Amino acid sequence: MPDAYAQPTTEADRAIPGPLASYTTLRMGGPADRIVAASTADEIVQAVRAANEPILILAGGSNVVIGDAGFPGTVVLVRSRGLRVVAEDAGSVTVRVEAGEPWDDLVAATVANGWAGLECLSGIPGSTGATPIQNVGAYGQEVAETITGVEVYDRVEATRQVIPAADCGFAYRGSIFKYGDRWVVLSVDFRLTRSPLSGPVRYAELARALGVEAGDQVPLADARAAVLRLRAGKGMVLDPADPDTRSVGSFFTNPVLDRATYDLLLERAAELGDPPAWPGADGMVKVSAAWLIDKAGFTKGHPGPDGAAISSKHTLALTNRSGTAKTADLLTLAATIRDTVHTRFGVTLHPEPVLINCTL
């Protein structure tokens, strides 16, 4: 599925300042001083090198919140496309994908070709180049499991290089690329398994939707279809006719707590029952941000100021339901949720999207 909000490369992209809301799934964000579209990796590098002012790299715009004042510099729209097999053997293929390739188009292609490893990441909006930045994950898969390397332009060294996956600093919804502007992603290599079946289904909700047990494998197309249905039911598949999809998906990450903080949460939430939780390494526990938000009194559809609201389908998504809300309105709602959850449960929620020229 093409990104419903991706803009075509036009001469207007190359020269005319305009509201960045046109390039984000939230439909929010003020103007840029200059917008330049780049349709190849070479053009991306050239645009970055040529700029003598701050630069914002923007592709699908699905995981970014841009302030109402816009961006005081050059916005480089990543519009590169394409994928090709660069290595293969009897059991696997390695696919090199340009940074601007719409993510779900890639997932659809891998499923059609019988390459397993990305099927549970179906329906996620945005571009391929953004996935290593966030270490995108859903329904039991993360891109860190299949990425072998990321080609970047290093703005400090002024060179192009490939950073092996082991050096990307992949963590829960993070990487070395997320907080800083040193590296500009140009392409990503994924090593995928030749198989008509998905990887073992790890996520309980997906297993239920498929009618299988956790750990079972299913046809790739079945896994993809089930994930798309689940995401659509939560307003997490882009649809211009559905105001709930004017969002960045999950606004907050699931908090990962040390044992003392988790025990405090259990004490404060005793009358509500235990929150959904997943044990991790070194005694850490990941808990459901959606549960915390709901139990703090912010249910689906909860209104914020001037048309910002929690999605009517998913508590974790903050939306521009009216289509006219400002970034400040959305962030006011987000701050109220964050502060109330902390007061009620002693847990601090952190935003998942990247905040540009705005703060929370």
Active site amino acids: 173, 250, 352
| Sequence letter at residue 268 | R
Closest CA to 41 of 101, 103, 94, 95: 101
Q: Are 63 and 351 in contact (CB under 8 A)?
A: no
